[in-house]
């Protein structure tokens, strides 16, 4: 079978179609050619000459597709997905916690008296101590003034993750507001990895993850599995609250470890109120609970502050899992389901190399939108046959070792991210990470990447677009005492990571007089 002559099974699995009831045939006559799609996935050469409208006849059904309309819809979805699923928020959130400042912020839209009343209402419905103080007011107003774009994207991601979190928190009789902890921990990025190796939505270190049943192998990191990691986080949080009998201290212990909280209590002379302990805690932990409470406030009063959520395209409740019976890659699933690679990686973040393995005594699952699950199961045998044939075709000495022209070096440009680069060359994000020994999705301007492109040079040229417009460039001169964080605060919507990328900065040291490019808009 020649793969380039296959009409992909996406014609059977596309989410815009409806399936006939079992045992019945539903056929619509069109002036077009028919392509027979059977379990062996054999497709005639006529697939190369298909017009814009296609009839795909399966074992039970005949389905009508308008490929032109479908392609346009998927293109729009793809652009939206790349924006929503970009994992560039983690560094910004992390820095906002570690480098938090508490100077008063001028923000007339939220009078202090209004904030006090809302915090009082919030305190009445949560076990956390949501009490007004000037430091908390400063953090809330900084977020509202300078982090609106970031927060709106996080609210969009929360539409997918929060129902999952709430279900598990409720099952463990824990406060539902703990869902906001994952926003602070990982910016709702299941692939997030901190500088010290904490990984996943709930940022488990390797030993702590193992303690709560999260395994890590060459193929799978269960710390990045949203459901398994949430279950483990609930167990850990419950144990911390049982130890300290105080949710604020439990949060502090989750961030820096129970040992640091216990030492802070001793050094303070026995104080147990978090706000009285902050000066005795690590700097990051000192900003941790204020960041959590500020996030809780803004999410709870998002409507009052005019936030417009980017809704998740697929709610968690509209997805389901399939136990994989044979090794298959997310790239293969993307081909056969007409789902975007970014979407599949978003739904299945624990597969480090983009491969779902089959291992004895392990139940590895593929998560798909409900619209695709039934079709996948109905055509499972054919799908695995396709995956097997493609795998056998690939099981040869690595061509990149012998055919140097196929390997390219790509220099990361301003505005690039892995999803954009992968799409340009027709490869997967996981493949680029594997080829370059990368552990996170972060790339830096000027970084060289090894890529084995699947697209032709002509395709790449057509699909390449400028990565950044220079129309809104501003120059900032570094002053004595400036840091990347303090400079980012001067420009709403600008992050530390932005400034690093725009100016090809790898470290954090700045010299007074240095000229930095800042892009607004």
Query: Would you state the pLDDT for residue 241?
Result: 94
Nearest CA to 375 out of 67, 28, 37 is that of 37
Beta bridge partners of 351: 220
Task: Say whether pLDDT at 96 is over 80.
Answer: no
Residue boundaries of the structural domains of the chain: 3-81+313-394, 86-300, 399-463, 473-519
Q: What would the two tokens of residue 171 be?
A: 């099952």
Please give the residue that has the higher pLDDT: either 60 or 458. 458
Give 120's pLDDT tier (boundaries 50, 70, 90): very high
Query: Would you state the pLDDT for residue 271?
Result: 92
Q: What is the mean pLDDT of residues 45-51?
A: 30
Query: Would you state the pLDDT for residue 168?
Result: 96
Is the domain covering 86-300 a CATH 1.10.530.10 domain?
Answer: yes
Using CA atoms, how far apart are residues 326 and 382, in angstroms rounded to an integer? 12
pTM metric for this prediction: 0.63
Catalytic residue among 137, 168, 177, 185: 185
Q: Which runs of consecutive H residues, i.e. helices, occur in 49-89?
A: 67-85
Query: Would you state the pLDDT for residue 234?
Result: 97
Task: Say whether pLDDT at 419 is over 70.
Answer: yes
Residues whose CB falls within 8 Å of the CB of residue 476, separated by 6 or more in sequence, listed in order:
487, 490, 515, 516, 518
Q: What are the angstrom distances between the C-alpha of 386 and each of 2, 108, 290, 383, 451?
A: 11, 61, 52, 5, 25
Q: What is the mean pLDDT of residues 219-245?
A: 95
Give 360's pLDDT tier (boundaries 50, 70, 90): confident
Query: Would you state the pLDDT for residue 415?
Result: 80
Give 2's pLDDT tier (boundaries 50, 70, 90): very low
Fold of the 399-463 domain: Membrane-bound Lytic Murein Transglycosylase D; Chain A (3.10.350)
The three state secondary structure string of 219-264 is: CEEHHHCHHHHHHHHHHHHHHHHHHHCCHHHHHHHHHHCHHHHHHH
Beta bridge partners of 365: 323
Query: Would you state the pLDDT for residue 237?
Result: 96
pLDDT tens profile 167-192 = 999 999 999 999 999 999 999 999 88
pLDDT tens profile 471-494 = 467 888 988 878 887 888 788 778
pLDDT tens profile 13-30 = 444 333 333 333 333 333
Please give the residue that has the higher pLDDT: either 1 or 67. 1
Spatial contact of 172 and 241, defined as CB atoms under 8 Å apart: no
Q: What is the mean pLDDT of residues 506-513?
A: 78
Same fold, 86-300 and 473-519: no
Task: Check if 185 is active-site.
Answer: yes
Give 207's pLDDT tier (boundaries 50, 70, 90): very high
Give 306's pLDDT tier (boundaries 50, 70, 90): very high
pLDDT > 90 in the chain, percent: 36
Using CA atoms, how far apart are residues 57 and 28, in angstroms rounded to an integer? 11
Please give the residue that has the higher pLDDT: either 167 or 284. 167
CATH superfamily membership of 473-519: LysM domain (3.10.350.10)
Please give the residue that has the higher pLDDT: either 37 or 110. 110
Residues whose CB falls within 8 Å of the CB of residue 516, separated by 6 or more in sequence, listed in order:
475, 476, 477, 478, 487, 499, 502, 503
The mean of the pLDDT values for the chain is: 77
Please give the residue that has the higher pLDDT: either 218 or 51. 218
Task: Say whether pLDDT at 403 is over 60.
Answer: no
| Range ranked top by mean pLDDT from 96-110, 267-281, 451-465 | 267-281
Give 260's pLDDT tier (boundaries 50, 70, 90): very high
Q: What is the mean pLDDT of residues 223-232?
A: 96
Using CA atoms, how far apart are residues 325 and 297, in angstroms rounded to an integer? 45
Using CA atoms, how far apart are residues 279 and 408, in angstroms rounded to an integer? 52
The C-alpha R_g of the chain, in whole angstroms, comes to 25
- Least confident window among 52-66, 114-128, 225-239: 52-66
pLDDT > 70 in the chain, percent: 74
């Amino acid at each position: 079978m020649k793969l380039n002559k296959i009409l992909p099974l996406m014609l059977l699995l596309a989410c815009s179609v409806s399936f006939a009831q079992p045992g019945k045939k539903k056929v619509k006559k069109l002036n077009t050619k028919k392509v027979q799609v059977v379990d062996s996935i054999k497709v005639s050469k006529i697939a190369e000459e298909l017009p814009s409208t296609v009839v795909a006849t399966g074992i039970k059904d005949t389905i009508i597709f308008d490929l032109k309309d479908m392609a346009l819809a998927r293109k729009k979805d793809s652009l939206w997905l790349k924006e929503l699923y970009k994992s560039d928020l983690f560094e910004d959130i992390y820095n906002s916690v570690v480098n938090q400042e508490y100077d008063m912020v001028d923000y007339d839209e939220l009078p202090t008296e209004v904030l006090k009343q809302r915090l009082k209402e919030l305190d009445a419905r949560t076990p956390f101590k949501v009490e007004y103080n000037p430091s908390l007011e400063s953090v809330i107003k900084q977020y509202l003034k300078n982090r609106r774009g970031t927060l709106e994207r996080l609210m969009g991601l929360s539409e997918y993750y929060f129902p999952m979190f709430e279900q598990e928190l409720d099952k463990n009789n824990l406060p539902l507001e703990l869902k906001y902890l994952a926003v602070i921990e990982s910016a709702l990025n299941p692939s997030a990895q901190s500088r010290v190796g904490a990984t996943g939505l709930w940022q488990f270190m390797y030993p702590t993850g193992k303690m709560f049943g999260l395994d890590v192998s060459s193929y799978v990191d269960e710390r990045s599995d949203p459901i398994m990691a949430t279950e483990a986080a609930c167990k850990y949080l419950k144990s911390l609250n049982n130890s300290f009998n105080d949710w604020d201290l439990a949060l502090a212990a989750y961030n820096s470890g129970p040992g640091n909280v216990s030492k802070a209590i001793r050094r303070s002379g026995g104080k147990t109120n978090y706000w009285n302990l902050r000066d005795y805690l690590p700097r990051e932990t000192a900003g941790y609970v204020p960041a959590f409470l500020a996030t809780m406030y803004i999410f709870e009063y998002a409507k009052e502050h005019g936030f417009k959520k980017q809704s998740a395209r697929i709610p968690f409740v509209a997805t389901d899992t399939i136990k994989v019976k044979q090794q298959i890659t997310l790239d293969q699933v993307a081909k056969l389901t007409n789902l975007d690679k970014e979407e599949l990686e978003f739904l299945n973040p624990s597969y480090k190399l983009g491969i779902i393995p089959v291992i004895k005594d392990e139940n590895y699952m593929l998560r798909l939108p409900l619209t695709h699950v039934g079709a996948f199961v109905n055509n499972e045998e054919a799908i695995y046959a396709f995956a097997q044939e493609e795998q056998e075709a690939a099981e040869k000495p690595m061509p990149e070792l012998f055919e140097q022209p196929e390997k390219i070096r790509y220099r990361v440009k301003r505005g690039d991210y892995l999803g954009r680069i992968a799409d340009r060359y027709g490869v997967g994000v996981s493949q680029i990470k594997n080829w370059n020994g990368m552990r996170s999705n972060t790339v830096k301007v000027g970084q060289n990447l090894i890529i084995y492109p699947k697209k032709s040079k002509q395709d790449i040229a057509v699909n390449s677009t400028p990565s950044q417009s220079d129309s809104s460039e501003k120059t900032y001169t570094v002053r004595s005492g400036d840091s990347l964080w303090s400079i980012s605060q001067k420009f709403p919507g600008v992050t530390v990571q932005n400034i690093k990328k725009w100016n090809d900065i790898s470290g954090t040291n700045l010299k007074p007089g240095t000229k930095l490019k800042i892009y607004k808009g």
